[in-house]
């Protein structure tokens, strides 16, 4: 079992390494992708400067706290797209029958699939996340917390995307629904959770798990609370298990499928 | 002209079968509107407040209009097809056909977005009427003027996108440049009108595409004046002519480069 | 020992049927109509260890579907199969360690990496320790003569070298069976020959059992001792190559150029395929008519040129397909 996990991680990192090597072949494209992504994210600062010029605090957040929120959102997005990029394109793989090759390999299909590609611009997102932390004011304890929450957030985001992508095993238009809902999560994660009314908040902590991926981590970084940490870990574990469960259920259906698209 | 009209019509009919996809795309639109409405409601602590000359209702109608334009005119033909054609060398076949490639792409793009845009406009108006109420002092006589600036805005936006995509002739991947344009429109152009910016930025913003692509039509819708209209329409015409000239220039340069490299 | 055993295997697919026009499209959204087809229809066969088996048939015959079931990608609708003593639908992972797959049209290699790096990657996938993988690559390199290009990125290799590496990569974990789905598709004759040699070599030297699907008659003729012909999901023929040939080798084709016209007509054992001026093309069934008699009928003195040949395998297989078609109608 331990050996299996070790081998799986080895394959994942080899695949990450090779993907980055692949992108590095064209250095200009590689660098512009990363740099422009950082600039792209930084441009949102303008939006917030203007909003804060209209009102001192928004949803109880000061501008530096919004920067921190952006940081978490950005590094969460970055890590998930570096390590698990294909979880965001799962629907395409399922609909077009591209899982076949993975099925002939003696590895966990789910992990093998979602880690088989890397988004290069996501490196820019990850870097930007830490730039935000630096602007907010970095110290050892918030660096550690920030890193932990970026990882849990990335896992939550990738699991969420995988769960939605897996619906394509059953639903025909699943890809559009999956795309939309993942986008929603990304739209919400850069706005203070507190500007939304309580009914919406419930949704943000359940159906669209941006609460556990971003809002609660921010709260915890501002006022440390061990219980929050436990909630976040527990939720991460739950959503990961659920993602595995749904994907494996779907995979069985894929293999025993009697629907023929490009599967001959 | 006739062949472009034909391309436009053919794409439009093809898109009729994707209406279900467009409707599912509304989910995103609703959410963004929802986030912005929440944001503005939070910033306007009471609804009678006026910020920089805008009431809360006007502000939300403004965001609604710019978001309709953003979601309704977004399409991958301009973002990916041109770059792909250039990257794969397909463009060599396309420019040898008896049509102008730029007009071909433009007709195709407009065919792709027409239905989408109309649906978004209808839904946008419905959302506005249901959740915010009608715009104060709205006069139906203004509609043709607003529509004219709206169509010109969409057209200019499309041509600017084509300009960005032609960067692929020189740098393999033009997407990062699209991001910059995206962000300029999205952050500076959709969330708040130019009046909200600090004074020193206002003249600069007025010169950017934001003024002709998003601000123009939205401003005229919520607060029409003949003076604004003439100002906007003149700016749009200048933008249109200049951008067409730039496209023509870049394309002839790019194609030459293609010939040298043999695609 | 039987390494693959298949009994009464079935795979049914449902295809959505759509009526024409907008009306039909709308109708199919609310009330989709399905048509069931038997992609694989009750087939049974077995493969001996160390054999090279050709599994052939026209497009859509059910070849790939069968391979996909044998490799655990697809589950059968019904029937039993055992590959290497493992049930593919139940223990896919365990099976994966013992089989190799090459799908001709799909590339598994990372094109920006060298074959060497690629082999290391596949080594990791099959849990081969680093030390072992080095010696394994060394072995494969010398056996299959890859020295020349083992450190060149795959995208810079010729198509032939690429497929070579593709096949060698699938041998990294010493599979007992190799499934090759149209390995020579789209290759030129020289490269094809090269790949066939490679396949033969690994069968001989490594004892790998090979399950090969192909369109290419040459592949089959040169490689296989046994052939299974499948069409419309049904096995039409499961026989040795020799039998197949023998059965049809009774027939010979005579092409002859004569000084003047000869009066030769269809009769028992002789059928005229083509007659144009002084040129004749005749098919002879030698179980019914001796060659000598035919030549006498042609009148030896009048022959300018003569060519006697076997029926090409391609034609044999086509005629088997056609017969089956005729039967199914």
The average confidence (pLDDT) of chain A is 87
Which among A43, A51, A121 is the nearest to B183, CB-wise?
A43
Q: How far apart, in whole angstroms, are the C-alpha atoms of residue A59 and residue A65? A: 11
A22 has a chain C CB within 8 A of its CB: yes
Residue B16 with chain C: CB contacts under 8 Å: 22
DSSP lists the bridge partners of residue C11 as C40
Give the H/E segment covering residue C245.
helix C241-249
Residue A55 with chain B: CB contacts under 8 Å: 42-43, 45
Who has greater pLDDT, A225 or B97? A225
State both tokens at B237.
Answer: 């015409």
Q: Do C113 and A11 touch (CB under 8 A)?
A: no
Answer for the pair A208, A180: CB distance below 8 angstroms, yes or no.
no
In this prediction, residue B184 carries a pLDDT of: 83
Q: Are strands C279-285 and C270-276 parallel, antiparallel or unpaired?
A: antiparallel
Q: Do C75 and A256 touch (CB under 8 A)?
A: yes
In this prediction, residue B259 carries a pLDDT of: 64
Residue A3 with chain C: CB contacts under 8 Å: 127
Q: Do C96 and A106 touch (CB under 8 A)?
A: yes
* Distance (Å) of CA A4 to CA B14, B220, C170, C324: 50, 64, 21, 49
Residue C12 with chain A: CB contacts under 8 Å: 258
Q: Would you place residue B251 in the very low, low, confident or very high pLDDT band (cuts 50, 70, 90)?
A: confident
Please tell me which chains touch A, using 3 or more CB pairs under 8 Å as the contact test: B, C
A264 has a chain C CB within 8 A of its CB: yes
| Residue B63: exposure state from Cβ atoms within 10 A (0-12, 13-18, ≥19) | buried
Q: Do C124 and A3 touch (CB under 8 A)?
A: no
Q: How many CB atoms lie within 10 A of CB B72?
A: 24
- Using a pLDDT cut of 90, give the percent of chain C over it: 18
In this prediction, residue C33 carries a pLDDT of: 72
User: If you count residue pairs, one on A and one on B, with CB atoms under 8 Å apart, how many are there?
Assistant: 88
Sheet holding C33-48, edge to edge: C33-48, C2-17, C78-83
**Alpha-helical regions (H) of B44-174:** 56-72, 76, 82-88, 91-94, 101-131, 143-165
Taking residues C39-56, report their average pLDDT. 91
Q: Would you place residue C264 in the very low, low, confident or very high pLDDT band (cuts 50, 70, 90)?
A: confident
Judged against a pLDDT cut of 90, whether residue B94 lies above it is answered with: no
Who has greater pLDDT, B63 or C251? B63
Q: Do A104 and C101 touch (CB under 8 A)?
A: yes
Q: How many CB atoms lie within 10 A of CB A121?
A: 23
Distance of CA B206 to the CA centre of its chain: 16
Q: Mutation target for A interface from C78, C112, C230: give the one with most A CBs within 10 A.
A: C112
Q: Would you place residue C29 in the very low, low, confident or very high pLDDT band (cuts 50, 70, 90)?
A: low
State both tokens at B200.
Answer: 């020193």
Q: What chain A residue is nearest to C179 in terms of C-alpha separation?
A: A104
Answer for the pair A223, A245: CB distance below 8 angstroms, yes or no.
no
In this prediction, residue C250 carries a pLDDT of: 76
B17 has a chain C CB within 8 A of its CB: yes
* Distance (Å) of CA B164 to CA A95, B26, B173, B182, B251: 32, 27, 10, 11, 11
In this prediction, residue B241 carries a pLDDT of: 94
In this prediction, residue C268 carries a pLDDT of: 82
Name which of C55, C74, C90 is nearest C13 in CA terms. Answer: C74
In this prediction, residue B239 carries a pLDDT of: 94
Where in the sequence is the domain holding B22, given as residue range(s)? Answer: 2-260
Residue C29 with chain B: CB contacts under 8 Å: 20
Query: Locate tokens 């749009």: which residue?
Result: B236
Residue B182 with chain A: CB contacts under 8 Å: 40
Q: How far apart, in whole angstroms, are the C-alpha atoms of residue A231 and residue A234? A: 5
Q: What chain A residue is nearest to C129 in terms of C-alpha separation?
A: A7
Q: Do C112 and A22 touch (CB under 8 A)?
A: yes
In this prediction, residue C329 carries a pLDDT of: 39
* Distance (Å) of CA C61 to CA C37, C65, C97, C320: 11, 9, 28, 13
Which among A29, A35, A47 is the nearest to B191, CB-wise?
A47
Min distance C27 CA to chain B CA atoms (Å): 13
How many domains does the structure of chain B reveal? 1
Q: How far apart, in whole angstroms, are the C-alpha atoms of residue A130 and residue A110? A: 29
pLDDT per position as a tens digit, B140-173: 888 899 999 999 999 999 999 999 988 888 877 7
Question: Strand, coil or helix: what is C121?
Answer: helix
Q: Which residues contact A183 (CB under 8 A, 6 or more apart)?
A: B28, B31
Q: Which residues contact B109 (CB under 8 A, 6 or more apart)?
A: B75, B77, B78, B158
φ, ψ of residue C97 to 5 degrees: the values are: -65, -25
Residue A46 with chain B: CB contacts under 8 Å: 187-188
* Distance (Å) of CA C328 to CA C28, C44, C64, C231: 30, 19, 22, 11
* Distance (Å) of CA C22 to CA B14, B112, C19: 11, 18, 9
Sign of CA dihedral B120, B121, B126, B127: positive
Residue B74 with chain A: CB contacts under 8 Å: none
Who has greater pLDDT, C111 or A81? A81
In this prediction, residue A263 carries a pLDDT of: 40
A140 has a chain C CB within 8 A of its CB: no
């Amino acid at each position: 079992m331990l050996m299996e996990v070790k081998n799986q991680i080895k394959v994942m990192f080899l695949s990450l390494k090779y993907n980055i090597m692949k992108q590095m072949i064209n250095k200009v494209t590689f660098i512009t992708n990363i740099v422009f992504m950082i600039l792209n994210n930084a441009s949102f600062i303008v939006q917030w400067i203007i909003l804060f010029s209209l009102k001192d605090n928004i949803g109880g957040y000061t501008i530096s706290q919004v920067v921190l929120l952006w940081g978490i959102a950005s590094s969460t997005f970055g890590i998930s797209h570096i390590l698990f990029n294909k979880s965001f394109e799962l629907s395409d793989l399922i609909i077009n029958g591209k899982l076949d090759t993975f099925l002939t390999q003696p590895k966990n299909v789910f992990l093998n699939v979602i880690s088989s590609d890397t988004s290069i611009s996501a490196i820019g997102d990850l870097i930007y996340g830490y730039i935000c932390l630096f602007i907010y004011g970095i110290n050892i304890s918030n660096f550690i917390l920030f890193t932990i929450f970026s990882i849990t957030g990335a896992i939550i985001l990738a699991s969420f995307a995988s769960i939605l992508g897996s619906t394509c095993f059953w639903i025909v238009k699943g890809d559009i629904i999956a795309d939309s809902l993942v986008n929603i999560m990304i739209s919400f994660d850069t706005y203070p959770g507190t500007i939304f009314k309580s009914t919406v908040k419930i949704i943000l902590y359940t159906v669209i798990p941006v609460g556990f991926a971003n809002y609660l981590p921010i709260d915890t970084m501002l006022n440390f609370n061990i219980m929050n940490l436990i909630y976040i870990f527990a939720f991460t574990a739950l959503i990961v298990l659920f993602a595995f469960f749904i994907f494996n259920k779907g995979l069985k259906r894929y293999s025993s499928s009697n629907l023929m698209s490009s599967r001959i | 002209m006739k062949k472009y009209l034909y391309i436009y019509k053919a794409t439009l009919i093809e898109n009729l079968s994707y209406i279900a996809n467009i409707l599912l795309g509304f989910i995103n639109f609703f959410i963004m509107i929802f986030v912005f409405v929440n944001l503005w409601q939070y910033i306007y602590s009471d609804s009678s407040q006026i910020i920089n000359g805008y009431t809360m209702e006007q502000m939300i109608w403004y965001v609604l209009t710019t978001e309709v334009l953003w979601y309704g005119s977004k399409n991958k033909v301009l973002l990916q097809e041109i770059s792909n054609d250039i990257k794969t060398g397909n463009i060599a076949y396309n420019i040898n056909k008896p049509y102008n490639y730029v007009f071909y792409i433009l007709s195709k793009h407009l065919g792709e977005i027409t239905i989408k845009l109309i649906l978004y406009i209808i839904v946008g108006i419905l959302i506005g009427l249901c959740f915010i109420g009608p715009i104060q002092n709205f006069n139906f006589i203004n509609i043709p003027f607003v529509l004219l600036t709206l169509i010109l805005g969409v057209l200019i936006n499309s041509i600017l996108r084509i300009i960005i995509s032609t960067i692929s002739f020189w740098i393999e991947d033009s997407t990062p440049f699209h991001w910059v344009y995206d962000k300029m429109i999205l952050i500076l152009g959709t969330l708040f009108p130019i009046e909200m910016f600090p004074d020193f930025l206002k003249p600069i913003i007025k010169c950017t595409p934001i003024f002709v692509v998003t601000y123009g039509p939205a401003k005229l819708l919520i607060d029409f004046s003949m003076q604004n209209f003439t100002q906007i329409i003149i700016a749009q015409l200048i933008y249109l002519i200049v951008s067409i000239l730039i496209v023509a220039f870049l394309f002839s340069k790019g194609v030459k480069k293609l010939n040298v490299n043999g695609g | 020992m039987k390494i693959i055993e298949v009994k009464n295997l079935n795979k049914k697919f449902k295809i959505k049927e759509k009526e024409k026009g907008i009306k039909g499209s709308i109708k199919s959204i609310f009330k989709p109509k399905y048509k069931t087809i038997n992609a694989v229809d009750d087939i049974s066969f077995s493969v001996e260890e160390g054999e090279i088996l050709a599994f052939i048939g026209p497009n859509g015959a059910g070849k790939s579907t069968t391979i996909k079931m044998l490799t655990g990608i697809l589950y059968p609708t019904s029937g039993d199969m055992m590959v290497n003593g493992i049930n593919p639908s139940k223990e896919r992972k365990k099976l994966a360690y013992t089989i190799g797959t090459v799908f001709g049209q799909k590339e598994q290699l990372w094109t920006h990496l060298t074959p060497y790096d690629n082999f290391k990657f596949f080594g990791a996938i099959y849990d081969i320790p680093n030390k072992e993988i080095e010696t394994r690559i060394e072995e494969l390199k010398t056996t299959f003569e890859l020295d020349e290009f083992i450190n060149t990125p795959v995208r810079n290799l010729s198509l032939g070298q690429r497929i070579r590496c593709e096949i060698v990569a699938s041998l990294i974990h010493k599979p007992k069976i190799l499934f090759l789905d149209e390995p020579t598709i789209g290759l030129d004759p020289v490269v094809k020959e090269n790949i066939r040699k490679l396949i033969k070599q690994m069968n001989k030297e490594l004892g790998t059992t090979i399950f090969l699907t192909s369109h290419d008659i040459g592949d089959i003729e040169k490689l296989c001792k046994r052939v299974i012909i499948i069409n419309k999901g049904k096995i039409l023929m499961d026989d040795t190559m020799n039998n197949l040939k023998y059965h049809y080798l009774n027939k010979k084709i005579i092409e002859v150029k004569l000084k003047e016209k000869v009066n030769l007509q269809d009769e028992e054992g002789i059928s005229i395929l083509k007659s144009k001026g002084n040129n004749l093309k005749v098919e002879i069934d030698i179980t019914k008519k001796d060659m000598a008699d035919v030549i006498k009928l042609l009148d030896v003195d009048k022959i300018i040129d003569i060519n006697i040949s076997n029926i090409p395998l391609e034609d044999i297989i086509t005629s088997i397909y056609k017969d089956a078609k005729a039967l199914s109608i």
